[in-house]
Amino acid sequence: MNKSEITGSFDVAVVGGGPSGRIAALALAKLGLSTVLVAPTSPQSDGRTTALWQQSIELLRDLGIWDRIEASATSLRKMRMIDDTGRLIRAPEVVFDSAELGLEEFGFNILNSELNVALQELCDELPGLTVVEDTVASAELLEQETELRTQGDQKLSVRLVVAADGRNSLLRETAGIPVRRWSYPQNAVVLNLEHSLPHQHVSTEFHTPTGPFTLVPLPGRQSSLVCVETAEGADALIALSDDKLERELERRAHSILGRFKLATRPQCFPLSGLAAERLIGHRLALIGETAHVFPPIGAQGLNLSLRDIIDLTTTLGGPMRRGLDFGEDAVLKAYENKRLRDIRSRTNAVDVLNRSLLTGFLPVQIARSLSMYLAGKLGPVRRFLMHEGMTPGSGFRLKNRP
């Protein structure tokens, strides 16, 4: 249900129109909470892609999203890591194979534009979900409710606000939640490529002195590319003519997929990180990039955000079904306790991996090479890392071990 002028009361307001916000709104409405999504129209021109692991896909399937995008998704069956740093100490190549876990694939790679269209359509169609195509101008966090006022001067009263309004969140600032921010001396050049050889559903990540150079399968003979470079290096790539850029990217990929041809225009994004010191305020819960931001390494970003949504809906569901106040501080504290370890471990792991590529400090290079050597040679270590990469904590349970 989409209304242009709404003034009223709801159980939950989700603020933010990115994938995290829209998926959260769908999940909360399906839970049985009267939900309002305050979000502008999703951008349709996003040429980036997102790799989703099995737990994320199960959530999308439960919400009716996966059926709408599955036909345009590409399975990821193997993940190949190659040390291309050219340094004295280099790690051996490592291949993670989903078949070793008894799985057909680790997950799927999808176009963000396809996901955005499906989410916007489903949000507009779902009963119990009201969409206000606007942005929040102010919020007042009261004892029993939160009052929101939009830029279009609409007023909403809700028992809980879910903040998915991004790294510069108005709601997080209103609640006085501090954040830690950091930056990297890197930019990510992102584009999609056509290539003359089949990718065989293998995602390949070259570790270079400036950061990862990652090719992820798309339908047919296409792949998405994330090339992490220095700011100067990224500018130099963007400035190349199409044919020179194609040849340069093929050279960096060592022609493993044959000849390259640009399928989309390159986009460039500076790399940075953010971590909120708390995930909750009074009648407020943070999810997605409102709570955590880190570089596009290891396909952890949206998967981490979807785990926020899974844990939030699980935490709210019990009190809601018992007729209790699901927005009270004690309930939200339980959500925060569930999420903090996962968020901190993922943020630290991505940060350490990225910085280990940037340093020439020999002990760090030895440690990184040894880790990759153990992953390549020791099955239990490799399987543990595969489980942990997809579902935190599952590696310790050693499921699916041959």
d(CA 244, CA 246): 5
What mean pLDDT do residues 197-216 have?
A: 94
**Torsions phi, psi for 11 (to 5 deg):** -70, -50
Is the pLDDT at 92 greater than 80, yes or no?
no
- For the domain 8-63+112-180+272-358, what is the CATH code? 3.50.50.60
Is the pLDDT at 34 greater than 90, yes or no?
yes
d(CA 272, CA 21): 21
Q: What is the pLDDT of residues 222-254, one digit of tens each?
A: 999 999 999 999 999 999 999 999 999 999 999
Would 8-63+112-180+272-358 and 69-109+185-270 be classified into the same CATH topology?
no
> What fold is seen in the domain 69-109+185-270?
D-Amino Acid Oxidase; Chain A, domain 2 (3.30.9)
Across 32-36, 210-214, 215-219, least confident range: 210-214
Question: Residues of the chain with pLDDT > 90: what percent?
Answer: 69
The mean of the pLDDT values for the chain is 88
- The per-residue pLDDT for 62 is 96
Q: What is the pLDDT of residues 253-309, one digit of tens each?
A: 999 999 999 999 999 999 999 999 999 999 999 999 999 998 877 667 899 999 999
Domain ranges of the chain: 8-63+112-180+272-358, 69-109+185-270
- Token look-up 């070259």 returns 206
- The per-residue pLDDT for 348 is 82
- The per-residue pLDDT for 32 is 94
Is the pLDDT at 400 greater than 60, yes or no?
no
Closest CA to 28 of 308, 302, 313: 313
- The per-residue pLDDT for 299 is 65
- The per-residue pLDDT for 393 is 60
Residue 215 or 8, more confident: 215
Tell me the two tokens of residue 181: 């921010």
Q: Between the CA of residue 60 and those of 65, 75, 274, 385, 386, what are the distances in Å? A: 5, 15, 26, 24, 21
3-state secondary structure of 166: coil
Q: Residue 364 — pLDDT band, cuts 50, 70, 90?
A: low
- The per-residue pLDDT for 335 is 98
Is the pLDDT at 398 greater than 50, yes or no?
no
DSSP strand E in 67-172: where? 74-76, 78-83, 94-97, 107-111, 129-132, 136-141, 146-150, 155-163
